[in-house]
Amino acid sequence: MKFVTFSAGVMLGASLCLADSYTGKLVDADCLDRQSAGFPGQHGGCNPGRFTTRYAVATPDDRLVRFDSTGNARAAELMHDAAGGNPVNVTISGTPDGSVVRVDDIEVQP
């Protein structure tokens, strides 16, 4: 019984260590997909609005971190009451999963 408890604790601790943190500008991922490719850092005009359904974070080092469905839902909740079209800076924490991040938490930054 002690071994099972210890093993579960080690597995839980290992999974918590895999979470990463990303800070940057919240953007409309569909808008980015519609823009022509090859312009890293050019996210102008892709600020999310109330009707955005897919989100990503554009980091200061020109990385795009796309959200999983849970992250999209959480970002949509944040944006529901926000003034659309204005830049929103966020920090997310989550686990990379293929081409997206499984978002555990999202916070608006001042």
Residues in the chain: 110
Contact, 26 vs 62, CB < 8 A? no
3 state DSSP class of 47: coil
Point out the least confidently predicted range of 50-59, 64-73, 83-92.
Answer: 83-92
Span 40-61, pLDDT tens digits: 555 567 889 888 999 999 999 9
Domain map of the chain by residue range?
20-108
Predicted TM-score of the model (pTM) = 0.76
State pLDDT tens for residues 23-36: 999 999 998 888 75
Q: Is 14 left (phi over 0), alpha (psi -120 to 50) or beta?
A: alpha
Percent of residues, the chain, with pLDDT higher than 70: 74
Rounded to whole angstroms, how far apart are CA atoms 9 and 11?
A: 5
Pairwise CA distance, residues 75 & 15, whole Å = 23
